[in-house]
Homo-oligomer: A and B are copies of this chain.
Amino acid sequence: MSQHLQNEIAALKEKIIYMGTEVEDRVYRATVSLINRNEKMAQAVLAGDHEIDQLEVTIEEDCLKLLALYQPVANDLRFIISVLKINSDLERVGDLAVGIAERSSYLIDQPQITIPFDMSAMMQTVESMLTRSIEALVNQDVQKAYRVRSEDDRVDAMNREMYALVKNELAKDPEHINILLQNLSISRHLERIADHASNIAEDVIYMVNAQIIRHSPETFED
Contact = CB atoms under 8 A, between A and B. Distances in A.
A57 B212 contact: yes
A64 B81 contact: yes
Contacts of A85: 84, 88
A74 interface: yes
Nearest to A181: B167
Interface stretch (A39-47, A65-73, A101-109): A65-73
Contacts of A171: 174, 177
Given A77-B64, A77-B67, A81-B84, A177 B167 contact: yes
Interface of A is mostly: helix
A154 interface: no
Given A84-B81, A170-B174, A68 B60 contact: no
A174 B181 CA distance: 14
Interface in A176-194: 177-178, 181
Contacts of A67: 67, 77, 81
A153 interface: no
Nearest to A180: B170
Given A77-B67, A81-B67, A84-B84, A56 B174 contact: no
Interface residues of A, number: 30
A53 interface: yes
A214 B57 contact: yes
Contacts of A61: 212
Contact of A174 (B77, B174, B212, B214): B174
Nearest to A63: B81
Contacts of A4: none
Contact of A178 (B60, B77, B78, B167): B167
27 contacts: A53-B214, A53-B215, A54-B215, A56-B214, A56-B215, A57-B212, A57-B215, A60-B212, A61-B212, A64-B77, A64-B81, A67-B67, A67-B77, A67-B81, A68-B73, A71-B73, A81-B84, A84-B84, A84-B85, A85-B88, A167-B178, A167-B181, A170-B170, A170-B174, A170-B177, A171-B174, A171-B177
